[in-house]
Chain A
């Protein structure tokens, strides 16, 4: 019954590799997000995406790209991984607009770049 799921939970890889993190939501939401939480525990938005619009935080390197095969999935592709990409990545989803717009978060993927 998991609302927002992510795979893998842990990912260890070498610098320079390309990797993907998958996210799926079964809530029927139209909007999905990716957040990054660094070692200092600050949570930062990376992307907001629905079937009409991709909003990118301007601080995100273009090595990061979200790809959505359908409304229930938003995968995160990372090219040429760097040491500084090590972090926990959270996927989230919500319905756009309205007064609530509660976001549901996945359990996170801990990425370690060696």
Chain B
């Protein structure tokens, strides 16, 4: 699976959009971009995934660049409960296992 690079930490004001970047320059054509988050002392939670088109669900939006070498997870109106470590993971359909990197620690501040 392709390696991902994320900033170690970010801050965001409550109510504002949180934009979390991820670089995956070695991604191959059949690999998907997944986002998970881990709130303190809990198990990771799936957020969203995509291949090449932008995706949106009730939790977030995922913007993937045209060359697919990077993506951005957007939390449109961050709340204090969104404070967590966010993991960007690239994985092909054939594999089941997730390879977690260091993630981005998002701190939402009042």
Residues on A lying within 8 angstroms of B by beta carbon are 4, 31, 33, 35, 41-45, 48, 55, 57, 90, 92, 94, 96-108
Contacts and interface: CB of A to CB of B under 8 A. Distances in A.
Contacts of A101: 93, 96
B93 A103 contact: no
26 contacts: A4-B43, A31-B96, A33-B96, A33-B97, A35-B100, A42-B102, A43-B44, A43-B100, A44-B100, A45-B98, A48-B96, A48-B97, A55-B97, A90-B43, A92-B43, A92-B44, A96-B96, A99-B51, A100-B49, A101-B93, A101-B96, A103-B44, A104-B46, A105-B43, A105-B44, A106-B43
Chain A to chain B: the 4 pairs with minimum beta-carbon distance, closest first: A105-B43, A43-B100, A102-B46, A45-B97
A55 to B, nearest CB: 7
B92 to A, nearest CB: 10
B93 A107 contact: no
Q: Which of B87, B93, B96 counts the most A-chain CB atoms under 10 A from its CB?
A: B96
Per DSSP, chain B at the interface is loop
Contacts of A100: 49
Given A41-B85, A45-B98, A99-B93, A108 B42 contact: yes
Contacts of B97: 33, 45, 48, 55, 57
A99 B98 CA distance: 14
Nearest to B45: A105
Contacts of B32: 99
Given A43-B44, A105-B45, A107-B43, 15 more contacts: A4-B43, A35-B100, A44-B100, A45-B98, A48-B96, A57-B97, A92-B44, A96-B96, A98-B93, A99-B49, A99-B93, A100-B49, A103-B46, A104-B46, A105-B43
A105 B93 CA distance: 19
